[in-house]
Amino acid sequence: MSKTAKMTVWAQDPFSYDIIPPSFTVFRKPNLNKVNARDIFVLTSVPELPAVTEFVRAANHRNHLRTLFIREDDNAQFLPQMLYEAKLKISRHILVHSDIIHDKTNLFGFHRDESTTLHNPRRLLSALVC
């Protein structure tokens, strides 16, 4: 993707507001009219996943969805069930991340490197505009 590509982000997760590069078009409320935009990124959390499902399905159906970032939190163990209920297939477009820097183990007891927690969505979005 080049700098001239217009990229759109639905920042549904309030924790994601400060990680979006200024060159992206950002909207914070659900807007199905934005589904026609190219290169769509959605940032949400596990409990708020049902709020974005219709938009994500429509964008994915048009091949405009680039990444669905899902922030891992206390409800992460329910993610597979929530994806199933939302009728969202597991795909290459889903990236689960965490912003829990003070805790270096995730819900499944695996060690988490501090450098890979909060900054994953920021790094990926920033790399797209370079």
* Among 57, 55, 47, 108, CA closest to 78: 47
Is residue 73 within 8 Å of 37, Cβ to Cβ? no
Let me know: does 23 contact 49? Beta carbons within 8 Å: no
- At residue 61, the 3 state secondary structure works out as helix
In the chain, what are the domain boundaries?
8-129
SS3 content of the chain, % helix, strand, coil (to 5): 35, 20, 40
Compute the mean pLDDT over every residue in the chain, rounded to the nearest whole number.
75
The model's pTM:
0.75
125 pLDDT exceeds 70? yes
| Mean per-residue pLDDT, 75-102 | 74
What confidence tens digit (pLDDT) does each residue in 34-56 have? 888 888 999 988 888 888 888 98
